[in-house]
Amino acid sequence: MPTAAAPPQLPEDLQQCHQLIGELLSQIRQLQVRNDWLARKLFGRSSERLGVQELEFFGQECTVAEPTAPAQEAAPPLAPRNGRVHTGGGRKSLPAELPRQRVEYDVTESEKICPECGGEKKRIGEETSEQLEYVPASYFVIEHACLKYACPRCQGHVSQGTKPAQPIEKAIAGPGLLAHVITSKYCDHLPLHRQEGILARQGLDLTRSTLCEWVMASADALAPVVRAMKTQILRSAAVNTDDTPLPVQDESKTHQAHLWVYVGDAAHPYTLYDFTWTRARDGPEKFLGDYEGYLQADAWGGYDGLFGSGKIIEVGCWAHARRYFFEAKETDPALANQALLRIGELYAVEREAAEGKLDAPARQALRQAKAAPLVESLGQWLAVITPTLLPKSPIGKAVAYAQSNWRALTRYLEDGRLAIDNNAAENALRPVVVGRKNWLFTGSRRGGRAAAILFSLIQSAKRAGLDPFAYLRDLLRAVPTHPQSCIHELFPDQWKKSSAES
């Protein structure tokens, strides 16, 4: 039977007791903050938007004297609480490109006779309404017949038609079915076992192992397109990157691998994913290779080796800095909301640039005129309040994060092509997170690499404004015979351009 641990010895000196009590109270406060944070993550709202009343209150009450602070323009008027302008309700019209079937409802023959004079009524118009209907997806079989010819006199010289190369040789699945399975899983987040049940209701006996092999083989066939897109991304002036865990079934246990995303700039509009077994820094180093330019990411220490060479320039993320202050609202609302208001002014400048549709030089000029003074003022304010903060408190950690990454956070002012935050990469990881909740895990390392390839094609297609299913279907048709020297013609933006021309 285990014995109970002996109680800790209390110090005899009164001063030491006071010191111990202070340390214990500090630990209790830290644990309480941690408990509140976990409760908010589990039960609270995930949005970090501040309420209008909250902004107005703290905007008026939380003021801090700022030495040598430059004059600032009045803050822009607050946007609606949900960030959208309401233009009224009403039902939206159905898309004009949908096929339409007209059904007419006529009156009876007796109703076509006027009851007063007995004459025949004339049609004067109609009242129409539209109803959206659904027909279940249809499956059909293509019978490939390779015709044969021979000389009847010589009884030989047989010639036979050649069947076009298929995305998966000897598989019964055509490009359309393969694209449907891939899109259902990696775009609509539908696991293969659910697709197996849906197919069974249509009378098709296709096991999930068969569907899985189709997905793996399709990824292998499409890998050259993704490799070629990677060379284009590495020509970007700025690349956004982030990562998320990806559980992988490894023998009898589940291993936590990682999926990284790399978002190219506007001139190279591709979004690629990379699978690594661990979160070591050699993953980004291997992917980026000899890349030279801006890299926007969070402040994870694994990137430090990349920035040491001088070829890759670090760009920080104001959304990360803002998140630290938002999490400090519960313990120090006055200072936290003051910081949030100041950061909000920086984002107001970005909204002005977006609404004006400014190009990179004009955006940089606007930032130098309006955002640079705000950034300088914020830095001075952080320096003023730092001595008054406990380093391990939430607000102390928020200020320390901003100050330690200040050079990277302010680098976006240098170039109008840079973004104020890394939201492009974070948003690109959302489909992975949603899918992960449905699949639970990836079956193997090969499955992780396949997921990276197929996510790359689907998200790049969506970024180009394409239907992922239509793009993948045509891609699977073209890849087996398309020349490697013209592989760029299969990129989503190029495919969209050629489709519009044809």
Note the pLDDT tens digit of each residue in 108-149. 999 989 998 888 989 999 999 888 888 877 888 989 899 998
- pLDDT of 78 above 70: no
480 vs 208: CA distance, rounded Å: 25
Which of residues 360, 395, 413 is at a domain's end? 413
304 and 338 both lie in a single domain = no
pLDDT tens for 196-239 read 999 999 899 999 999 999 999 999 999 999 999 999 999 999 99
306 and 325 both lie in a single domain = no
Cα 235 → chain centroid: 22
Q: Is residue 124 part of a domain?
A: no
Cα 175 → chain centroid: 26
253 vs 255: CA distance, rounded Å: 6
Element (H, E) at 314: strand 312-315
246 and 375 both lie in a single domain = no
Q: Is residue 353 part of a domain?
A: yes
The pLDDT of residue 304: 85
The pLDDT of residue 49: 67
The pLDDT of residue 6: 53
243 and 272 both lie in a single domain = yes
151 and 157 in contact (C-beta within 8 Å)?
yes
Instruction: Determine the average pLDDT of the residues in 320-345.
Output: 92
Q: Is residue 140 part of a domain?
A: no
Cβ-proximal residues to 484 (8 Å cutoff; 6+ apart), any chain:
224
Q: Kindly tell me the burial class for residue 422, based on how many C-beta atoms sit within 10 Å of its own C-beta (0-12, 13-18, 19 or more).
A: buried
Q: Is residue 256 part of a domain?
A: yes
Cβ-proximal residues to 43 (8 Å cutoff; 6+ apart), any chain:
none
291 and 323 both lie in a single domain = no
Task: Express as a percent the part of the chain with pLDDT over 70.
Answer: 86
227 vs 274: CA distance, rounded Å: 11
pLDDT tens for 175-187 read 999 999 999 999 9
pLDDT band at 21 (very low <50, low <70, confident <90, very high): confident
The pLDDT of residue 370: 96
303 and 265 both lie in a single domain = yes
- pLDDT of 397 above 70: yes
Q: Give the domain range for residue 277.
A: 211-316+423-501
Which of residues 349, 383, 413 is at a domain's end? 413
Q: What is the maximum alpha-carbon separation in the chain?
A: 119
Task: Name the domain count of the chain.
Answer: 2
The pLDDT of residue 308: 79
Which carries the bigger pLDDT value, residue 214 or residue 82? 214
Q: Is residue 343 part of a domain?
A: yes
Average pLDDT, the chain: 86
302 and 381 both lie in a single domain = no
269 and 398 both lie in a single domain = no
CA distances from 499 to 79, 432, 502 (A): 40, 29, 5
Q: Is residue 387 part of a domain?
A: yes
- Greatest mean pLDDT among 249-253, 376-380, 442-446 lies in 376-380
Q: Is residue 250 part of a domain?
A: yes
227 and 278 both lie in a single domain = yes
382 and 394 both lie in a single domain = yes
Classify strands 148-151 and 156-160 as parallel, antiparallel or unpaired: antiparallel
- Greatest mean pLDDT among 28-32, 41-45, 251-255, 413-417 lies in 413-417
Which of residues 413, 434, 454 is at a domain's end? 413
397 and 460 both lie in a single domain = no
Q: Kindly tell me the burial class for residue 249, based on how many C-beta atoms sit within 10 Å of its own C-beta (0-12, 13-18, 19 or more).
A: middle
262 vs 257: CA distance, rounded Å: 17
449 and 369 both lie in a single domain = no
Name the pTM for this structure: 0.81
- pLDDT of 83 above 50: no
Q: Is residue 341 part of a domain?
A: yes
The pLDDT of residue 343: 95
- pLDDT of 30 above 80: no
The pLDDT of residue 40: 64
